Structure 1
Amino acid sequence: MTDSNLSKAANWAAIATAGIAVAALCIAVWQIRVGQQTQREASARDAFKEYLKLAMEKLDFADARLGKVAKSENERSRYSWFVSYFLFSAEQIYTSFPDDPEWSAALSDQVCYHRAYLQGYEYQRTLKAHYAQPFYEFVEKSLSHCPN
């Protein structure tokens, strides 16, 4: 090989090395993003699973439509925290799976269990400010479709 050919080969090798490095960087960034999304989804599932465990322990709170939520201030306060925990976990699920029809249906069902509270003064005037607009709109839409 001549010096000219060696020089060209060295230049092509440098370009190929740079291209491979850029491709590797793109793949690394993609892997990090996929890993972060997977972690968010797993955390959301775990939070919702914990809510469901709590619902099994607190059946009186799990379905407020049954009218078993006690009228005492203490019980109403505990119920409010129960619903707040539900909304926290539901928002995580909704944010992680916004276009999943099965999750949307499951969350809508849970919203309907707490319709009276979620349509009440405390939630409508205070708590809704704590949630992202898309999730709040999802809750409102779910409330409008609850069966009587």
Structure 2
Amino acid sequence: MCRTIAFLTGLSLIPIWTYGLLPLVYLNGGPDKMIENIPTWAPVVTAIAAVTAATIAYRAFKIARDNLATVVKNQKETTAKSTFREFLKLCVEKPSLAYGRPAAGEEEKYEWFVAQFLWAAEEILEYAPDDWDRNLKLHISYHRDFLQNNRDFRNDDLPTYSTKLRTFLDATLRALPPPDPTPAPAPTTPAPTTPPTPARTD
């Protein structure tokens, strides 16, 4: 920051001296005559110095403010991405919940799982939407039935999230193709086979 201020100071003084003070010196009879008129020009020089100092201070403040805003934005973006990565780790640990197929007795856990996803999605949409757009839509498709049809969620939970998330969620759900009405066949266990009886050898 100090180097930046010093650079701006030097950069500002060069044109002021070249196009402002130096012409005034020679328009008033050269350096010797200018020295005699110091009392006359002192207020002008003081005003120029004050304007220069104010300009430098404003530029330094603007640079510091922009740098701080960038640091804060980067920090929030990093936090949002870390939050979503933690959710992805949870998906690895709970694949049945991640694909929206909770086992019997896991309904309450599944509701909290979806809440974790929406919280992470809300952070991502606020601070890093471009990098994770397709990923969010994919996970919304996994939980489509719950997000569209669970009345308690639609009436009680959904309004607590940000407008940006609710808009993104509803737009994604509307864009999804119609669900397949044919349920996936349940896995079947093959019937045990009786091994052949070995032939007797007498």
Shorter-chain TM-score range: 0.7 to 0.9
Structure 1: runs of 5 or more not aligned = none
Selected match of 2:147 from 89, 110, 118: 118
1:97 to 95, 115, 128: 128
User: Equivalent residue for 1:41?
Assistant: 77
Equivalent position of 2:109 in the other structure: 78
Give the TM-score normalised by the residue count of structure 2: 0.66
RMSD: 1.4
* CA distance in structure 1 between the aligned counterparts of 2:175 and 2:104, rounded to whole angstroms: 27
1:16 equivalenced with 2:49 (yes/no): no
Q: Provide the C-alpha distance between the structure 2 equivalents of 1:41 and 1:15, rounded to a whole number of angstroms.
A: 39
Higher normalized helix content (fraction of residues): 1
C-alpha distance in 2, partners of 1:43/1:107?
A: 17
| Distance of 2:163 and 2:111 partners within structure 1 | 21
Larger RCO, structures 1/2 (Cα 8 Å, 6+ apart):
1
Look up the match of 2:93: 57
Q: Aligned residues, how many?
A: 141
Give 1:133 deviation, angstroms: 1.3
The aligned counterpart of 2:193 is: none
Q: Is the 8 A contact 2:97 2:110 kept in 1?
A: yes
How far apart, in 1, do the equivalents of 2:175 and 2:138 lie?
A: 10
Distance 2:172 2:74 in 1: 26
Q: Measure how far apart 1:21 and its partner are.
A: 0.6
How far is the alpha carbon of 1:104 from its aligned partner? 1.6
Aligned partner of residue 126 in structure 1, secondary structure: helix
CA distance in 2 between partners of 1:7 and 1:79 (Å): 76
1:107 positional shift: 0.6
The whole-number CA distance in structure 1 between the counterparts of 2:68 and 2:152 is 40
How much has 1:85 moved relative to structure 2? Answer: 0.5
**Sequence identity of aligned pairs in percent?**
30
Q: Secondary structure at the match of 2:75?
A: helix
Post-superposition offset of 1:103? 1.9
Give the number of the structure whose alpha-carbon radius of gyration is greater. Answer: 2
Alpha-carbon shift at residue 62 of structure 1 (Å): 0.8
Task: Find the counterpart in structure 2 of residue 137 from structure 1.
Answer: 167
